Amino acid sequence: MEDDERPRLGCRLNYVRKLPGMLKLVQLACSFIAIILVAVAPTLTYSGNKGFFLFVSIVAISITTILLLMALINLQAVFIPERWSLIELCWCAFIALFYFIAGIVIATATNGNALYGAAACFGFAACIAYIVDFINRIRLRRAEEASENTETTVTKTTTTTTVTRQQPVY
């Protein structure tokens, strides 16, 4: 591979205008709002419901921020381009499952407190955003595999038309 063909580090701000970038921003926003809502909610019991939800939200926001920054500076295309889609696919599935569990945990611990209910709502919204990202990653991965397996053949067809004129008979 020549140096001109290799991907380079650089700022790709147009990434946030595409579907994966927009999904990452939605995931970050939902996680951030959920963290704020749970953090300001009063501790109702000592069962750890609030702590588990905070843990899942903070891990999600931390790793999603790192993945977003890596995509913005094109770091994944430089170091691990062949495995990157699988890494993000597994991350989306993993955190969607944990957000679903954490959303159920915090929703059952509301005891009439609206802050916990709102946090559960944003937790489920983040879960849905990660599921949509997971589905998009599967779609992109299948498209990559299909394009690798498809052979492109180019056939060139030329048509020659010969025009002959008949001489008039006198």
Q: How many helices (H) and strands (E) does the chain have?
A: 5, 0
123 within a domain of the structure (yes/no): yes
**What was the pLDDT predicted at 67?**
92
Alpha helices, H only, 17-113: 19-40, 49-72, 75-79, 84-108
Regions in the chain scoring below 70 on pLDDT? 1-6, 44-47, 151-157, 170
136 within a domain of the structure (yes/no): yes
Q: Phi-psi bin for 30: left (phi > 0), alpha (psi -120 to 50), beta? A: alpha
**What was the pLDDT predicted at 3?**
53
166 within a domain of the structure (yes/no): no
128 within a domain of the structure (yes/no): yes
Overall domain count for the chain? 1
pLDDT in tens, 31-60: 999 999 998 988 766 667 888 999 999 999
Q: Which domain holds residue 33?
A: 13-145
7 within a domain of the structure (yes/no): no
90 within a domain of the structure (yes/no): yes
156 within a domain of the structure (yes/no): no
**What was the pLDDT predicted at 96?**
96
160 within a domain of the structure (yes/no): no
**What was the pLDDT predicted at 74?**
83
**What was the pLDDT predicted at 110?**
79
Residue 151's contacts (CB-CB under 8 Å, 6 or more residues apart) are: none
**What was the pLDDT predicted at 46?**
64
